A and B are shown apart, each in its own frame.
Chain A
Amino acid sequence: MLELDHVTVRFGGLTAVQDVSLRMGSDQVVGLVGPNGAGKTTLFNVISGLVRPASGSRVLFDGRDITRLPLHRRARLGLGRSFQIPQPMHELTVRENLIVAQRFGAGRVDPQKIDRILELMELGEQAERDAANGLALQELKRLEVAKALATEPKLLLLDEVLAGLETLAKRAFMAKLRELHETLGLGILIIEHDIETISSLCHRVAVLDFGQLIADGTPGEVFSNPDVIRSYTGAESAETQHA
Chain B
Amino acid sequence: MRRSAYLFLAVCYVVVPLAFGGNNYLMGLVVSSLIVAGVAVAWALLGNLGGMVSFGHAAFFGVGAYASALLSMKLGVPVLLAIPLAGLIAVLFSVAMLPALRLSGPYFALAILAYAQIFRILATEMEFLTHGSGGISQIPVLPTIAGFDLSSRTGQFLLLLTLLAAFLATYDLIRRSHYGIALRAMHDSEDATRVVGVNSVLLKSWMLFVSAFMTGVIGAVNAHVINFLEPDYAFSGGWSVLPIVAAIFGGYRTVTGPAIGAVVIYLVDQLVFKALVSTGHQIILGSVLALMILFAPDGLLPLLRNALRRMRGGSHA
Contacts and interface: CB of A to CB of B under 8 A. Distances in A.
Q: Is A bound to B?
A: yes
Interface of A: 48, 50, 70-72, 75-76, 80-81, 83, 87-92, 96-97, 99-101, 103-107, 109, 132, 147-148, 150-151
Interface in B115-167: none
Contacts of A132: 188
A75 B192 CA distance: 11
B3 interface: no
B189 interface: yes
B187 interface: yes
Nearest to B200: A72
A151 B188 contact: no
Contacts of B189: 87-90
A148 B196 CA distance: 7
A150 B196 CA distance: 8
B187 A83 contact: no
Nearest to A104: B197
B213 to A, nearest CB: 24
B193 interface: yes
A71 B206 CA distance: 19
A72 B198 contact: yes
Interface in B174-228: 178, 181-182, 184-185, 187-189, 191-200
A188 to B, nearest CB: 16
Nearest to A148: B196
B200 to A, nearest CB: 7
A105 B181 contact: no
A76 B197 contact: yes
A91 B200 contact: no
Interface of B: 178, 181-182, 184-185, 187-189, 191-200
A106 B192 CA distance: 15
Contacts of B182: 100, 103-104
Most chain A beta carbons < 10 A, residue from B184, B197, B199: B197
Nearest to A92: B185
B197 A92 contact: no
A100 B187 contact: no
Given A75-B196, A100-B178, A104-B198, A89 B191 contact: no
Contacts of A81: 195
15 contacts: A48-B195, A50-B195, A71-B191, A72-B194, A72-B200, A75-B195, A80-B196, A83-B192, A89-B185, A89-B193, A90-B185, A91-B185, A99-B181, A132-B188, A148-B196
Contacts of B199: 70, 72, 104
Contacts of A48: 195
A91 B196 contact: no
Nearest to A79: B195
A107 B197 CA distance: 9
Contact of B178 (A71, A89, A109): A109
Given A72-B200, A75-B197, A90 B188 contact: yes
Contacts of A91: 184-185, 187-188
B196 A100 contact: yes
A97 B199 CA distance: 15
Given A88-B189, A89-B189, A109-B178, A101 B184 contact: no
A100 B182 CA distance: 6
